[in-house]
Chains A and B, each alone.
Chain A
């Protein structure tokens, strides 16, 4: 894969372990902020990725409720099955899946603060016995072959530079019939703007630590090369622009509270979210949800979906 940005070339120049440490420190810094701040900006579940909007004027809660349910349906977890959420955040998907399926949920995050908040929420929801979360980089997590029924990356794979390794690892860990779901940002193959602009660097580096946006086709190729069939791709770029607009409104509404908890952070949030909203509204960057299945997918005729 060709490095799309100067930031990616810098990552290529680092030793693998050094890049892993770079991601561990720099990406975690954003998510280590007070969860109370994110609860002022995001929906009540703390979904920190695109919602699915049915209308442009819909509220954020409805759009995020539709998203977690969309994910639940695609993963189709049966009681006793196990799913791994890589980059689980404050547990929005883990908790929804634990509450609405009989599955066992395992999460990985770089942020101890996110782990603490997610586990506290799991306890309050009465599902702590089926939710486990590790603070780790996915490259350091041991995954037994064919031990998982589903793996999800929701707004997280973009932080991982070594995509070949990540795809190889999760594909091996999936059982035959296991599902992979990715919801994240991509670049169109033909650049529609300067990918090394100050604005891009502000988001990718200053605000979020490290980001690598692949072309959708490159991500799909990695999925296929590791023995999975892609069964669904949904364009969510317009929904993500709406999601970002709601988040920006919430930053405005709670600016004083956010500043009191973390001076300067309201500015960082509003600036990066505004750049992103413009990018997705103009399709300079693209948001997709991808679903794939290891081995033969279930036929759509007569399946439980």
Chain B
């Protein structure tokens, strides 16, 4: 069953807030992962692992999110939603 986009957003937001140790209110759709939220290489890997565990998808190619054009929270949510569609 396909997960609603808002559910994906809420779960990704929770993962980012906990991985990056920031206030969930700061994790807005247009927030930039690296520049606004302080996502570095370790936090990227930690977030990927949490996303894999939560959604049951494989994010192997997302080790460097910039290569996938993922810059903002919204980009990441779309990426996860897209991967979920592929496996559903």
Contacts and interface: CB of A to CB of B under 8 A. Distances in A.
B53 A199 contact: no
Contacts of B63: 274, 278
B53 A266 contact: yes
Please indicate which of the listed interface residues A271, A274, A275 has the most CB atoms of chain B within 10 Å of its own CB: A274
A274 B45 CA distance: 7
B68 to A, nearest CB: 16
Q: How large is the interface on A (under 10, 10 to 19, 20 to 34, 35 or more residues)?
A: 10 to 19
B53 A267 contact: yes
Chain B: interface secondary structure? helix
A259 B52 CA distance: 14
A267 B53 CA distance: 8
A259 B56 CA distance: 14
B49 A274 contact: yes
Contacts of B43: 198
B40 A271 contact: no
Interface string B46-62: 10111011000010000
A270 B63 CA distance: 12
Task: Tell me if A's interface is mostly helix, strand, loop or mixed.
Answer: helix
B49 A197 contact: no
Interface in A41-94: none
B15 to A, nearest CB: 12
A96 interface: no
Given A197-B41, A252-B58, A271 B46 contact: yes
A261 to B, nearest CB: 15
A226 B50 CA distance: 47
Given A252-B52, A266-B53, A267-B50, A275 B45 contact: yes
Contacts of A266: 53
Contacts of B49: 267, 270-271, 274
A199 B52 contact: no
B3 interface: no
Interface in B15-72: 40-43, 45-46, 48-50, 52-53, 58, 63
11 contacts: A197-B42, A198-B43, A199-B45, A202-B42, A252-B52, A267-B50, A270-B52, A271-B46, A271-B49, A274-B49, A275-B42
Given A267-B50, A270-B52, A274-B45, 6 more contacts: A198-B40, A267-B53, A270-B49, A271-B49, A275-B42, A275-B45
